[in-house]
Amino acid sequence: MSASLVIFFLLAALAVMAAISLIAQRHPIHSALSLIVVMVALAGLYLLMGAEFVAAVQIIVYGGAIMVLFIFVIMLLNAEAEERTNFSKLATYAGIPLALAIAGFIAAAIARSSGSLPAAEPSGALTSTKTLSMLLFSDFVYPFELTSFLILVAILGAIVLAQREN
């Protein structure tokens, strides 16, 4: 039981428990906090795999900007806790086991195909920031420019949506 395996199981358990908490909580702000825990746990897993720049970007962008946006919107809209209605009893008792069965089936299928993928070393210098940026600006420059254009469009869209009707 090497140290990496122990850390993996701890972080994986944290991520799964936080995801279950996202489903189980009634108030959206508690769901948002659980999602932040999932993202930080995933950033820890990326660090374990040696993808340090991606881990930092995950926390800075996802955890520090996108989730803050979610929390602002929840606070601004004064979101309340969900009321319990009777309609979803069938869905709960039949649906959740079915969804978990599907996930379990996929997981078992993956686990059974253990021969095809090598379990490699954490890729340290291979995926350093320098390598990623060289790739980003040489092979992937077209998607890079497209995503910057996409962000510009999103900013314009958000500004237009946020204007009051005068």
Binding flag, residue 113, another protein (CB under 8 A):
yes
Residue selected from 10, 94, 136, 145 as contacting another protein according to rule CB under 8 A: 136
Residue selected from 10, 93, 143, 145 as contacting another protein according to rule CB under 8 A: 143
Map the footprint of another protein across residues 144-163, applying CB under 8 A: 147, 150-151, 153-155, 157-158, 161-162
Residue selected from 10, 93, 102, 145 as contacting another protein according to rule CB under 8 A: 102
Cα separation, 68 vs 42, whole angstroms: 18
Map the footprint of another protein across residues 40-99, applying CB under 8 A: 42-43, 45-46, 48-54, 56-66, 68-77, 79-80, 82, 85, 88, 91-92, 95-96, 99
For another protein, the closer of residues 162 and 166 by Cβ is 162
CB-based contact 122:48 (threshold 8 Å): yes
CB-based contact 34:18 (threshold 8 Å): yes
